[in-house]
Amino acid sequence: MDALNALIMLANFVLIPATAYGSQLALGALGITLIYGILRFSHFAHGDVMAIGTAVVILTTWGLQGAGVSFGVLPTALLALPVGIAFTILYLLAMDRVVYRFYRRVRAKPMVFVMASLGVMFVTNGLTRLLIGPGEQRFADGARFVISARDFRTWTGLSEGLALRSTQLLTVVVALIAMGILFYFLNRTRSGKSMRAYSDNEDLALLSGINPERVVMITWVIAGTLMCLAGTLYGLDKIFRPFTFFQLLLPMFAAAIVGGLGNPLGAIVGGYVIAFSELGVTYAWRRFAGYFLPPDWMPEGLMQILPVDYKFAVTFAILVLVLIFRPTGIFRGKVI
């Protein structure tokens, strides 16, 4: 019984939240890795474009709520998602047209692209704040829990409760669907194959008659969809704040690098690795240990390896380990 209680507690505080957070990171990291694979630069505006896409979703949600539209038990934000995705894609395509295309033409060094993406980051950050302000916004509605901790306890008779928030379930389901479609697209369709070919060997792809501008456009469309999805899911599950989204840049990049830059499967694995380590290391294991250790063996403190304030340190430590021992990432990304 103790073991079962401990397991439930672990699921409640670590496994479920980490799976949801990992899915959000994975969606973000997929975008980063795709942009890296095709356009060959680190897209620093990723977090901020996520933020502006989510801001549009939030504004649309408020509009829908104001008009009395709701989506039953599901959050209204899901209805607003298409608007946000369309906006994010158009925004990215506009930025590509105004900013990045020129540098592709002149075959600029990757660092120039990165620099340009810093400019885009600044502009996007300003636009987001102008649009919705720098503060926190909540926009989740619909049913709050799929299983609430109290219901779970009465059903099972266990002393530990297991809560599954609807946003967590939604995150995982949406992320899995999105990943499924993405992999089908990359492996089975003509456009997806041309994207992979272009990522593998640009010159060879050009010789085979693949239109690079079209590949780039598809990349932005996919990345924009993933970014808006990731941002909205994160905002629903946790909170929306422009600065928090900017800070997601580090775990998302870490996920992409840990998995192997340019490798979509790696980005997903990387996302979960980062999320599980972050939550595992900052979780207070004291009560968990209480189920196994005899009382007089119990240590004094919370048994928390690192305080939550240092969650970036966890991401960073994993990143450093990967950089030292396996710079190509777990799944052998493109190049080092």
Partner 1 sequence: MNPTLRAFLLFGLVGLALLFTGFNQSWTLALTILNMSLISAVLALGVNLQWGYAGLFNVGIMGFTAIGGLAVVLISADPVPEAWSAGGLGALMGLALGAATVMAAIAVWNRMQPSLARVLALIATLVVGYVITRSVFAPAREAIMAVNPATEGYLGGASLPVLLSWPVGALFAAGLAWVIGKISLGLRSDYLAIATLGISEIVIAGMKFEGWLSRGVNNVAGLPRAVPRPVELQGSGFVQSLSERSGIDIVEMASIVEKLGYAALFSVVLIMLIVLSELALNSPWGRMMRAIRDNEIAARAMGKDVKARHLMIFVLGSAICGLAGAMMVTLDGQLTPGTYEPLRFTFLMWVMVIVGGSGNNWGAVLGGMVIWFLWVQAEPLGRAVMELLTSGMAEDNALRIHLVTQAAHTRLILMGSALLFMLRFAPRGLIPEK
Smallest separation, CB 253 to partner 1 (Å): 5
Q: Which of 115, 147, 169, 289 binds partner 1 (CB under 8 A)?
A: 115
Count of residues that interact with partner 1, criterion CB under 8 A: 50
Contact between 264 and 329 (Cβ < 8 Å): no
For partner 1, which stretch binds (CB under 8 A), given 147-155, 169-177, 205-213, 240-248?
Answer: 240-248
Cα 47 to Cα 235: distance, rounded to the nearest angstrom: 12
Window 134-153: residues binding partner 1 (CB under 8 A): 134
Q: Kindly report the CA angle at 41 between 262 and 223, in degrees rounded to 5?
A: 65
Window 292-311: residues binding partner 1 (CB under 8 A): 301, 305, 307, 309-310
Contact between 94 and 19 (Cβ < 8 Å): no
Sketch the per residue contact string, 251 through 270, with partner 1: x for CB under 8 A, - otherwise: --xx--x---x---------
Cα 221 to Cα 191: distance, rounded to the nearest angstrom: 12
For partner 1, which stretch binds (CB under 8 A), given 13-21, 69-77, 140-148, 249-257?
Answer: 249-257
Q: Is 250 in the site for partner 1 (CB under 8 A)?
A: yes
Of residues 70 and 247, the one with the C-beta less far from partner 1 = 247
- Residues facing 208 on adjacent strands: none
Window 25-54: residues binding partner 1 (CB under 8 A): 41-42, 44
Three-state secondary structure string covering 164-218: EEHHHHHHHHHHHHHHHHHHHHHHHCHHHHHHHHHHHCHHHHHHCCCCHHHHHHH
Q: Is 324 in the site for partner 1 (CB under 8 A)?
A: yes
Q: Is 327 in the site for partner 1 (CB under 8 A)?
A: yes
For partner 1, which stretch binds (CB under 8 A), given 15-23, 77-85, 150-158, 322-330?
Answer: 322-330
Cα 336 to Cα 330: distance, rounded to the nearest angstrom: 13
Instruction: Give the C-alpha distances (Å, rounded to integers) separating 203 from 126, 197, 263, 264.
Output: 38, 10, 20, 22
Of residues 79 and 284, the one with the C-beta less far from partner 1 = 284
Q: Is 119 in the site for partner 1 (CB under 8 A)?
A: yes
Three-state secondary structure string covering 68-128: CCCECCECCHHHHHHHHHHHHHHHHHHHHHHHHHHHHHCCCCHHHHHHHHHHHHHHHHHHH
Q: Is 222 in the site for partner 1 (CB under 8 A)?
A: no
Of residues 26 and 170, the one with the C-beta less far from partner 1 = 26
Instruction: Give the C-alpha distances (Å, rounded to integers) separating 325 from 258, 320, 321.
Output: 11, 8, 6
Q: Is 215 in the site for partner 1 (CB under 8 A)?
A: no
Task: Give contact residues for partner 1 (rule: CB under 8 A).
Answer: 41-42, 44, 99, 102, 110-112, 114-116, 118-127, 129-130, 133-134, 243, 246-247, 249-250, 253-254, 257, 261, 301, 305, 307, 309-310, 312-313, 315-316, 319-320, 323-324, 327, 335-336
